[in-house]
Amino acid sequence: MDYRFDVISAAEHDRLEALYEPFAQAMRELVDAGVRTEVDPQTIAEATAAVEAITASLRREQRDGPHAMVHADTRRPVVWANPVVGLRNALAPPLVIEHTDDGRCFSEFTLGAAYEGPLGWVHGGICALVLDHILGEVASGALHEPRYTGTITCRYRRGTPLGALRAEAYVDRTEGIKTFARGHISDGEGITVEAEGVFITPAWARDAG
């Protein structure tokens, strides 16, 4: 596979962020409107043609394979294409994950109509997606150390309503190459889904320990 790897300066990072963030946000609004609109067929047909024209203009220059970027100052990966936290990915709500001094992670975010499973509730798999990500992020020390999901279990205590939500995660313990993380999603009234996961340091990264 054709990988590209770039280290980007803080200035370049901020310039690209200011460019891509409003664009991805516009795409998110479009996706939301796309599942909710009730306009006439003619307007839908026109929207389809207009979206296709925009896509053609974007595809004039595009990457084919994976593209790794690392921030020159923080040395953290810049994961703008990620489907949970990616600044450039319209699939991502996106979650902005905060890291506390004691090693925990949390994020406050909002899920709208495009994330609905049962009527009025977040799709259970979307909860699993969010939890897999935030547990993985806390297990990997804010993405400083590569760790992949080995096993994850989600327990659904009750439905998770669409709207304002919070996710948090922490490392429970570490045993050799295994990091055990726990976390949950909550709404204003408490926990809706809890998760525990085992995250594994990949073989290629074990020597670096």
* Site residues (CB under 8 A) for a copy of itself, limited to 80-119: 80-84, 86, 88-91, 113-119
Task: Name the token pair of 159.
Answer: 């439905």
- Asked if residue 138 binds a copy of itself (CB under 8 A), the reply is no
Residue 153: Cβ within 10 Å count: 11
**96 CB burial (10 A radius; 0-12, 13-18, 19+):** exposed
Alpha carbon 140 to chain centroid, angstroms = 15
Tell which one of 7, 35, 96, 164 touches a copy of itself (CB under 8 A).
35
C-beta of 49 vs 102, nearer to a copy of itself: 49
Q: Name the 3-class secondary structure at 83.
A: coil
Residues 39-58 that bind a copy of itself (CB under 8 A): 39, 41, 43-48, 50-55, 57-58
Q: Establish how many alpha carbons lie within 13 A of residue 199's alpha carbon, considering only the half-sphere containing its beta carbon.
A: 27
C-beta of 123 vs 182, nearer to a copy of itself: 123
Tell which one of 3, 173, 204, 208 touches a copy of itself (CB under 8 A).
3
C-beta of 34 vs 103, nearer to a copy of itself: 34
- Asked if residue 36 binds a copy of itself (CB under 8 A), the reply is yes
- Asked if residue 76 binds a copy of itself (CB under 8 A), the reply is no
Residues 141-200 that bind a copy of itself (CB under 8 A): 146, 148-156, 159
In terms of DSSP bridges, do strands 163-175 and 105-111 run parallel, antiparallel, or are they unpaired?
A: antiparallel
> Minimum distance between the CB of residue 80 and a copy of itself, rounded to whole angstroms?
7
C-beta of 48 vs 110, nearer to a copy of itself: 48
C-beta of 55 vs 188, nearer to a copy of itself: 55
Write the DSSP string, 185-205: EEETTEEEEEEEEEEE--GGG
> Minimum distance between the CB of residue 98 and a copy of itself, rounded to whole angstroms?
19
Please tell me whether the peptide bond between 94 and the residue prior to it is cis, using omega within 30 degrees of 0. yes
> Minimum distance between the CB of residue 100 and a copy of itself, rounded to whole angstroms?
22
- Please state, in angstroms and as integers, the Cα–Cα distance from residue 41 to each residue in 44, 49, 79, 114, following that order: 5, 12, 37, 21
